[in-house]
Amino acid sequence: MKTRFILIILTVVTVFYSCKKSESSKPTPVVVTGEKVKLSIRLNGDITTSQTPFPGTRLSNKNYASAKDLNDSTIYAIDVRGTYDGSLYAQGIFNTPDNIMLEIPKGINYTIKVAAFKKGTSIGLWWGIMSPGYQYFERPLYRTLKNEMVYNSDVPNSPEALDYRFLDTLSYMTVRGDIIFDIREEYLYSEQDSYYGTTNYIATDSSSSFINIALKRISFGIKYNMINYTGGTLVADYDGLMRPRYINTYNLTDNLDIYTADTYRWQDTFFNGQRIHLTLKWQRDDGAEVLLGDTYLSPSRNSLTTVNVTMPQSNAVKAVIQLTDTAWLGNNYVDF
């Protein structure tokens, strides 16, 4: 009987010790205190690569003759939301990455999204002036450029209120279509050179005073190589997915275009079945238009597709269309 009593005592002690050991091995939960920390957001990844002209890119035409102005700025967009409920916490637009400061409460899990937009081969994102003189951007930002973060507690029911559409999609971005006239263009694949990154973050007492966010390039390029060209204009039509492209004597070797694909935020290729239908037409000098042929493009992230077009001889109708895909090297950039 005494032996049985001792075994019972030992069993209870063992179970108690095991429970205490299991509890001590669990991570210490972060306590929400209401305190806030200030973080400097530092960007790296593809965005930090040196910027040199992309071989064969335009250096002096297609709006580059205009003086450098606000259209030439790289625009940085920061979006901060609750990781679990998607609640809006802070948003901001900057045109310099050196002063991006974020203040967040300790102990709450936030998702921080960052996008950077370079005009690439276009004029840049469309913007208009709002009182008192701030640049206002439409899709995908719907905000003014103030070079500071705006918080949900600061601007309820005001023009500066946070917007769920902010960075919701990078398709159909509003791009300026003309350097002089106020023309806006929106296509599925916007003519922009874009970068994107995201991370989840919880501020603690041991957190650093900065957070690094790597941005990846979410763009692709298309250019045309004309073989046996004897005049006229090659018209490249993309079924409305991008602006039609016109290649003639003036841009035979200078016709690179850079586009953003929203799907690259999650993967390096288009989604299954997603392709770009390309139709080529030849507008001859005598005004006649000839259908040359068509093909499909499925460019990968950060790749350059060269469309080699062998023009038809006098006794032929169809052109020979061949595609060549090459990866962009890290330091091959368009002149910004």
pLDDT tens string 63-114 = 333 333 455 679 999 999 999 999 999 999 999 888 899 999 999 999 999 9
How far, in Å, CA of 135 to CA of 144, rounded?
Answer: 5
Residue 51 pLDDT exceeds 50: no
How far, in Å, CA of 170 to CA of 217, rounded?
Answer: 13
CB atoms within 10 A of CB 108: 16
pLDDT score recorded for residue 210: 87
Pick the closest to residue 328 from 120, 156, 160, 26 (CA basis). Answer: 120
How far, in Å, CA of 59 to CA of 253, rounded?
Answer: 12
Residue 9 pLDDT exceeds 90: no
State what percent of residues in the chain have pLDDT above 90: 52
pLDDT score recorded for residue 322: 75
The answer to whether 270 touches 298, Cβ cutoff 8 Å, is yes
pLDDT tens string 168-226 = 999 999 999 988 888 999 999 999 999 999 999 998 877 778 899 999 999 999 999 99
How far, in Å, CA of 126 to CA of 123, rounded?
Answer: 8
How far, in Å, CA of 90 to CA of 105, rounded?
Answer: 12
pLDDT score recorded for residue 321: 75
pLDDT score recorded for residue 8: 43
DSSP 8-class letter at 58: -
Residue 240 pLDDT exceeds 80: yes
* DSSP string covering 223-289: EEEEES--SSEEEEE-TTSS--EEE-GGGSS---EEEE-GGGGT-SSPPTT--EEEEEEEE-TTS-E
| Model confidence band, residue 58 (pLDDT cutoffs 50, 70, 90) | very low
